[in-house]
Amino acid sequence: MKRNFPKPLLHHPVLSAQIGFNLQMASLRVAAQIREALARFEISPAKATALSLVRMNPGCDQSALGRALLVNRASAMKIVNSLSSGGLVERKPGRNLRTNALFLTEAGERLLDALLPAIEQADALAVRELEPTQRKALRRILAPLAKLHGGEDP
């Protein structure tokens, strides 16, 4: 049986005043919970996000997916390769000869259907300490900071 003695906590008054620090810490903790919830599906949060993006944007190309995920083309390539070799996403001929169009396979659709409730549950768990009004406020405030952009590679 684990005794789990209380461990000393560190002070961080300077960093706590900064939004970036709090965002980072909150994000790390929520991401860890979501990662844990997704573990039994053997998929990472980023790849689950990619699946959802492909479903909502059927026929999108890899570069657009990369921009949405805030990674460059080479990294988007890796993600799509992984999902493709896992039989979850497929590349089809795109709107011109140098782009390809991404779609979920049947298996991808089924996996995403199974995934989304787990993500929602982990999400709700992560913010369970917040009042409903705070959750709404957080969503509203975070939206512009999380907005997709159309600029260069990261």
Question: Residues 76-115 vs a second copy: string with x where CB under 8 A?
Answer: ----------------------------------------
Structure tokens at 140: 């509203």
Question: Residues 112-141 vs a second copy: string with x where CB under 8 A?
Answer: ----x--xx-xx--xx-xx---xx-xxx-x
Identify the DSSP state of 86.
T
Helices 106-126 and 45-56 pack at an angle, to 10 degrees, of: 120
Task: Compute the C-alpha angle 140/104/54, nearest 5°.
Answer: 30
Give the residue carrying structure tokens 């706590």: 16
Helices (H), 2-131: 13-16, 19-39, 45-56, 62-69, 73-85, 106-126
| Count of residues interacting with DNA (CB under 7 A) | 36
User: Does residue 37 touch DNA according to CB under 7 A?
Assistant: no
- Tell me which residues touch a second copy (CB under 8 A): 4, 6-34, 45, 49, 52-53, 56-57, 60, 63-65, 67-68, 70, 116, 119-120, 122-123, 126-127, 129-130, 134-135, 137-139, 141-146, 148-152, 154
Binding site for DNA (CB under 7 A): 1-5, 7, 44, 46-47, 61-64, 69-82, 91, 94, 96-100, 153-154
